[in-house]
Amino acid sequence: MQPRRLVRGLGTAGLALILVGSSAVLTAAASGAVVPATAPGNDNFASAQAISSLPANKVVDVTDATTEGSERMDCGMTGQTVWYSYTPGSDTLVGLDTRGSNVSAVITIYTGTTLATLSEHDCDSRTNGNAADLVLPATGGTTYWFQVGVYSNDHAGHSLHFNVVALTPPSNDASTTPLTVGTLPYKGPIQDIRGATNDSEPVSNCAYQQFTVWYRFTPTKSQTVRVDNLKGDFLAAIAIYRGAGLTLDSCTNQSSVSFRAVKGTTYSIQVGANTSNLGNVRLRLRAVSSPSNDTFSTPKSIGTVPTDLTGNTTAATLQKNEPQACDGWVGGTVWYTFKPASTGNYRFESTNSMFEEVTGIFSGSSVGGLSPIGCGGPIVARLTNGQTYRVAIGGSSGGNGQFKVHVSRGTPPSNDNIASAKNVSLGAPFSESISTLYATNQVGEADPSCSDVPNNSVWYSFTPSSNAVVRVQTLGSSFDTILAAYSGPNPGSLTQVGCDDDSRLPEPEYLHSSIAFHVAAGTRYWVQAGGYSFTSGTLKIKIQTVTPPANDDFANAITVADGYSATGIDSSKATVEPGEPSGCTGGADVNGATFWYAFHATTTNDLTFTATNTSSTPIISVYSGTDINSLTEVDCHYGTETWTPTSGTDYRIQISGQGGAVGLIDVTFSAP
C-alpha cells in the first residue's frame, strides 16, 4: 500500500479533495498557499504504534489524521483515526481512556491480523465528558488493536490523549469482602473502580452496575441515612440491600440516595458504574431528617387548583410495599392527597425541579393496595369530582432534590382518543396546529415499534379513494414528537404501517417526526401523534399524498455505472417494503425510508458508493442477488461503502437512514 499524502490549501475560496489511486491531496479552489499536511505516523492500521509497557500515555495531533477506505466506523466514530497495538505477556486487566483530550473521542478494540479481517471486541464514545473509557480483560499472547478517533465530526479540538493502564481489583470488590461502615458520619477511601468486577452479583432496578464495590453498615439506632458519592467523576449507581439475602431496599443512578435504617439490621451497600461511566468513588454516609410527608400515612393536602407543590426529596425514602410509578424505580417519595372539586383533565408538571421529577397518581386507601391512575413528568390524568387520589412525587432512577410541581386543570383536544379521531381528506394537504398539553393516553393505547407509547397523544384517520403514498410530518412542533400509522377497520384491530421518533431533519426539527407509507384504496388508516418521554406542547402536523423516488421499491432499482451521481433525493417521500432487509443492524426497519440501486460486476476492481445528507449520515447496505426475499448481505457502512465485487455477480445497493432519519440525499458511484 502506498502511503497517503495530504496537501492542505489555505486559500479563501474553499478546498477540493482529489483522490488519486491511494494518495490524497487537498488543493486550494482559488489562489492561496498550498502546504503539505502531515498525517500522524500511526494514521494507518499497518503503521499502528505498539504499546510495549503499561502505563502508556500517548498524545497525538489528529488535525490531519485520515481514514482508510475499508476502515470501520463504530460507536459514532466519523474519522480522523490513529492506531495502536498491544500484546500482553500474561492475562491483564487493562483500562483505556481518552481523558485530557480536547476533542470528543471514540475507542474501538479489535482482534485479528489484517484491517479487512478485524473482529470488534468493544467500543465506547465520550462517556466521561469528552472522554471514551473502556476496560479490557486482555488475554496473554493475544494482539489487540486500538482504533482511536473523532466522535461525530467534532472539530472543536485536535489534541487526542490515549491512556492505557493495568488495573487491580479493589479489596471490597465482592459482597463477601465489604468495607465496614462504623459510626456516622462516615467517609470511605477514594477508590478507582475500573478494576472492579460484577460476577454473579444482584442487579438493582434503577441501574446496571458493571463495576462495583461493597460496604456493610449495621446501625445502632433507627434513623434516616443519606448515602452519596463525594467524587464527581461520574454518576454512581448506589443500591441498598437488607439482610443476608440481599433484599433491595433503595437505589439510585444519580450518586445519592436516602433510606430508613432500622436498628440492628445489616445493610449491604453496592456502589458502581452505570454502564461504562467510570471513575473514582468515595462513599459518605450521614444521618438526615426526612420531610414531614415522606410516608403514605402523613400526606399533605392539595387544595384549590391551580396551585404549586414545593418541597425537597433529598432525604425522602421509600416505604415497604410502596408502588413504583411508571413501572420504574423513582427513589424516595413525598406524598399528597387530592380531592378534585370538578371532573376534568388535570396536569401535574415540574416547573423548577432540580432533578428529573416523576409524579404518580393512585387510587386506594392503603400503601399496599393502591391502583395506578397515571404517571410521568409531566402527567395528565382525568380525575373525578369528589374522589380522593394519592399523589407521590419522586425522581426518575432515584434522582432527588428540590422540586416545584404545578397542578392545573384544562380542556383536552377533541381527538384525544382514537374513538374520536379527526377525519382527514386526502384531496388536498391537511395541516393544523393543536395543543396536546391536556391530552391523555388511553388504557391499552397502541405501542409503536420505534419508541414507547407517545405521551399526550391525539389521533387522525383517513380512507383513501385510490392507491397512493402518504407522508405525515410534525415539523415545527414545540416538543420532541413520535408518529405512528396503522391500518385497520376499527380501533380494536390495528396493524402498524409506519413509525418514526426522530426524523433528524435540519434543526430545529431534529427531534420531530416524518413517516411515508403506501396506502390502498378503501382501507382505513389511523395516525397517532404525541410526545417522547412525557413531552407535550404545540403539535404541528401535516398529512398529504406525495410522489416517492423512482427507485423507492426494490423492483425499480436504478442501474448505475462508473461516474453515476444524483442529488437532492428526498428520502422523506420514500417508504419501506414488507420484508426489506435491514443492513447495519436496523437501517431499514419499519421506521426507515429506503431506495435502491443495481449494479452488475464484470471485474473485481473495488466499487465505491457514497451517500451524504446534511443532517445524518445515510446507511449504505450492499447485497448480492436479484430477489428481495433471498438477498445476501455483502457489507454495510455509513456514508461511504467500498467493496471488492465478484465478477459476474448482480448487486443491489440500499440507501436508508439511521433510526428513521430522512432528508435530501446526494449519491455517487465509482467503478474503475
Please, are residues 442 and 490 in contact by the beta-carbon 8 Å criterion?
Answer: no
With vertex at residue 47, the alpha carbon angle to CA 639 and CA 138, rounded to the nearest 5 degrees, is 90
- Domain 45-166 falls under CATH 2.60.120.380: yes
Residue matched to cell numbers 432533578: 355
Gap between the Cα atoms of 65 and 67, Å rounded: 7
Q: CA dihedral defined by 120, 126, 130, 135, rounded to 10 degrees? A: -70
**Cross-strand pairs, 161:** 59
Q: How far apart are CA 278 and CA 167, in angstroms?
A: 13
Does the domain made of 418-546 have the CATH classification 2.60.120.380? yes
Question: Which cell numbers in the block locate residue 86?
Answer: 498491544
| CATH number belonging to domain 554-670 | 2.60.120.380
Residue that the C-alpha cell 482529489 belongs to: 18
Average pLDDT of adjacent 10-residue blocks, the chain of 672 residues: 31 32 35 57 96 96 87 82 96 92 91 92 73 90 95 74 93 94 95 82 72 94 95 81 91 88 96 71 96 96 96 91 71 94 95 84 93 88 96 87 95 95 95 96 82 87 97 93 92 89 68 92 96 90 97 96 95 89 57 86 94 84 93 88 94 87 92 82
Tell me what pLDDT residue 555 has.
96
- 415, amino acid identity: N
Distance CA(571)–CA(548), nearest Å, equals 8
The DSSP result for 173-242, as a single string, is: -STTSPEEE-SSSEE---EEGGG---SS----SS--EEEEEEEEE--SS-EEEEEEE---SS-EEEEEEE
| 3-class SS shares of the chain: helix, strand, coil, % to 5 | 5, 45, 50
Please calculate the CA angle 523-526-528 and round it to the nearest 5 degrees: 165
All three cell numbers of 161, joined, read 490523549
Would you say 346 and 380 are in contact if contact means Cβ atoms under 8 Å apart? yes
* Domain assignments of the chain as residue spans, ordered by start: 6-37, 45-166, 179-288, 300-409, 418-546, 554-670
Q: Do domains 45-166 and 179-288 have the same CATH topology?
A: yes
Say if strands 650-656 and 595-600 run parallel, antiparallel, or are unpaired. antiparallel
What would the CATH number be for the domain defined by 300-409? 2.60.120.1080
Range 179-288: architecture per CATH: Sandwich (2.60)
Residue whose cell numbers read 418514526: 500
Distance CA 97, CA 162 (A): 6
